[in-house]
Structure 1
């Protein structure tokens, strides 16, 4: 047991170092995990001699990946993109599979193995393409949407291959058509069942869970739903990933979409990493060394052929040449599901270990080139088209445009709604984030732009496009949560203004220290408005009132802090270190501070401030620090209760 634990620690250390190193040279984390798996595998460090034992757990990462993808592709969006998904996607899959099935056949490989090789070569990397496109901010342009449509069909096309591989191993090629027909009928039944559950049951489940306001329960329910959906399709002989995708797709239009995505992402990324580590462990380094030239030449031919075939498939639906070439360049690598197919083919002895290792080796090399290819896909496509093209930054398949120069309101309660109404009157765009499921549901039904989610999570803020906002307004009176929102916002953008609304000024300084540009305590602001009205009715000119108000805000409400305590003032354990009292100290003839100047007394060390000085019935609001204290002076100090008590003892007794 201790030996296994140490091996796990060693594997985690290798993975952390690999991801950090690969990130420095701008390579995707997937390659780092593959590299870590190669190091930890049985041929090098031999930390795990049987990596297949971890494979089932690692495949859950694929389930979570498809669940997240389903959240992005809700049923209405899928229907809107059906011509691309089932047109270009189907054409690319059939053409590429046919070509790469024929090539091994020419070299004497069996038909069963050739079909599996052709299917593996036809797939591209959903994880790398979507992640890279998201980081570059090009996910919503039409050429990336074309690539995503093809990826989506590829993910669906994995299912027949997962069905066919065991059949190829058991009874040969003759019964495949019958088995696929049966699987199709079962698939239709399972899809109909999952879509019904997703439409009528899941929204109710998440509504009830969200009402509990328990973060752990929401996360656990999300994981359970993804695994149950995957388990249901697996029970019927289909892919677990397909079930997770359908469950995500059904929830893609719900108000919980962004919170679900944020909750599932950490588990998805970690388990995806574990999956690629297990793939790396299964790589045969001897095959890589002995067939290096074949692998390199194969990767080159693979990329060229896949780009050309995507161009041909896209031409069937009259897609712009620039978009078609660019999408093909993005998709010319081997995908993560190719590793799944290769591993399954090897376990059923349809593929040899050498053939599987060749596929994995080609996949590793092609994935390494993918980030560079995606970055330069447009420029390469323009050279192939040989004509200048107008860059389109948004998709013609999406009617929604991301907000910019808007206000992000964190918390859509009384204050948030009041602010939203005033912003509407001025024609200023806003988007609100609220964790209350009932409020979010009611607001969305009324047409308000409200996201359900925890505003302290970075992913939720990114979905509100906070990086393009002019202001983030935090309206809930939870100081620790507000600090988390400030921290996450600063991680996204250092320049955006953050304003925090609180009920009182207890946490004023700590919120400013956390990075807030402006903190507005409701109690002090209410007092300022009342004071403005009083001064106005008292005949003070409005210009002087406005100047006074601006001075108070600039001084962080300095003259509004503190109050004289009374007999009914309640001091609890939670407020004794937050309340600020004002206390008057009458100096006796024998007080130790008599005869000393105010500036010679270290009030800062005592952590109190001097608010005033009364002498012979005359009040000095801002006493001169050169003033010498005399017997019978009244020194007015402000501070927290215990500090005021200590300061009084020092002034009177033992200064």
Structure 2
């Protein structure tokens, strides 16, 4: 994009306009590709990469310098790490110190050793092999964080462990860059005092950032909240993020690490949520721009000229890295499923590899051609990662739930059979128990059964959507079946099975929405109720009372609204099989 940027500067200098075509093309590519790829189940990252390839130098040719876009869009990664830092209070970060330095160190060192062997096996010098493998060890923070966010795993323990490893890799870039300088021809001339000065500068920048975060940031935001506008608060948030990133860059550290530390320092501030809201739009746009830039940078000419080497190195690097990650995870007591998922998520090279390879080229360890090939290898691995995640999710065996301390439903005899003991089943069971009715409860989630046992509830294990389980649970001898599991399809199947096999036993069921309620009516439910219907009516009634409306008028309008809703529901159901009085009582079927 350097040509476009230069043209823009020239146009601005002569009173011309901004090259809106470039902006429109970038936005259009993202708007068209990302929803399409998400609709196909391929994820937004792959959509951005494909869009970048389409509009880049080897596609439609709208852009000719993707590296310029990547350098600007790296701010998206910086802002992403700032948002993550806002969620990491210092106490939580301190609690993760073992995962950061034990798990992260073990994975990085073993992966470097394994991946260096790839270059050696192909006949490259030791220094070049080391740099090539080490660059691939540094995982893509942008891709992994985006994947964790889309999968909703960022706050889970396994997600936090991945974040800990990424943080260690961010820290590792500093000594690795120093090591590249040492390995360079003549690198031994770098003196010990020079190294110590570099370390001292880095530590000084960290100390300055910590001091500023502790004593300056909160008073500054408090002052701006009193006398500044919303736009000034947003500008201040960006100033803090970019200032911290610049300070760390001056100290020879990672910009992303600086932004993360700034976020951690503000994580206990009363302005945390406001800062997150201000930064979020910029983070999303710049991160998408980063993926677009990576897609543009996929040099098809280099891949075509070196296809054999790339075809060997990409799977070799990715498989060896996955093997190391999986082994380290298992040794440090991660489950097989977690270790495998971590290995697939972190199998690619990352954006820091570009920095390491460029530095190695400047020091003469690798040539310009080697740098281009290695960059292509990393980008190909980035492109393959979303596809590998899709394959993992579809092919990996689902972990079987542990049935320790759980008893199967068999030979049960009770007046009421309740299927499902989640948030709705627990409430429905209370009046039944209070009136002394015998009740058998079956549930398909072992952890829910164990949790219920701690509170004195005896719940049996069984899938109520299976006919054999219904027979074993005593459905044929029950006076009532209550179907309230947390799965919509399961509720419908339970109702249909129960009414077909035990037509004389009344079945009442939980409906998830209006359409589901009609499905349950057609399946034969004697009574169904949308799970949010009565709570919404109660909330609307209370809203009117809080506004000071006359209580009698409130009751009248609520009765009218309830009646209209039930009449509409009656007309929607096939055959109009409801009586008005019964409709007002909650959709009872006669």
TM band (smaller chain): 0.5 to 0.7
**TM-aligned CA deviation for residue 92 of structure 1:** 0.5
| C-alpha deviation, 1:86, in angstroms | 0.6
Aligned to 1:29: 44
Aligned position for 1:136: 151
Where 2:252 maps in the other structure, the secondary structure is coil
Are residues 1:526 and 2:526 paired? Answer: no
Structure 1 residues 127 and 62, CA gap change in structure 2 (3 angstroms): closer
Segments of structure 2 that go 5 or more residues without pairing to the other structure are 1-10, 12-16, 405-421, 425-485, 487-529, 562-590
Q: For residues 405-427 of structure 1, what are the alpha-carbon distances to aligned partners after superposition, in whole Å with 9 as ceiling and x for unaligned?
A: 79xxxxxxxxxxxxxxxxxxxxx
Distance in 1 (alpha carbons) for counterparts of 2:207 and 2:370: 38
In the alignment, what sits opposite 2:245?
230
* Matched ranges for 1:87-486 at <5 A: 87-162=102-177, 171-172=186-187, 175=190, 181-212=196-227, 214-315=229-330, 317-343=332-358, 345=360, 350-371=365-386, 373-374=388-389, 390=402
Give the CA deviation at 1:227: 0.7
Question: How high is the TM-score relative to the length of structure 2?
Answer: 0.61
- Residues of 2 paired with 1:379 and 1:28: CA distance? 14
**Cα distance per residue 1:180-220 (max 9 Å; x no partner):** 54433322222222122222222222233334573212211
Given that 1:167 and 1:176 are in contact with CA atoms closer than 8 Å, whether structure 2 keeps it comes out as no
CA contact (8 A) 2:49 2:295 kept: yes
Larger Rg belongs to: 1
What is the CA–CA distance in structure 2 between the aligned matches of 1:26 and 1:378, rounded to whole Å? 11
- TM-score by length of structure 1 reads 0.56
**What's the RMSD between the two structures over aligned residues?**
4.0
Name the residue aligned to 1:16.
31
Which residue, 80, 85, 92 being the options, matches 2:100?
85
By how many angstroms is 1:76 displaced? Answer: 1.4
Is the counterpart of residue 551 in structure 1 residue 556 in structure 2?
yes
Distance in 1 of aligned mates of 2:211 and 2:18: 48
Residue 621 of structure 1 corresponds to none
Q: Deviations over 1:35-79 (max 9, x none)?
A: 344344445544344444445422322321221232233321121
Distance change (3 Å), C-alpha of 1:135 and 1:36: closer
Q: Counting helix residues as a fraction of each chain, which structure ranks higher?
A: 2
Q: Distance in 2 between matches of 1:203 and 1:6?
A: 41
State the shift of 1:14 in Å.
3.2
- Secondary structure (helix, strand or coil) at the match of 1:283 reads coil
Mapped contact 2:38–2:44 kept (Cα < 8 A)? yes
Q: 1:14 to 1:382 in 2, by over 3 A?
A: closer
In the comparison of the two structures, how many residue pairs are matched? Answer: 425
In structure 2, the partner of 1:602 is none
Mapped contact 1:163–1:238 kept (Cα < 8 A):
no
Distance 1:166 1:102 in 2: 21
Q: Which structure 1 segments of 5+ residues have no match?
A: 393-403, 407-467, 469-493, 501-511, 530-544, 557-655
- Does the 8 A contact of 2:170 with 2:254 survive in 1? no
Task: Describe the shift of the 1:36–1:138 C-alpha distance in structure 2 as closer, same or farther (beyond 3 A).
Answer: closer
| Match in the other structure for 2:4 | none
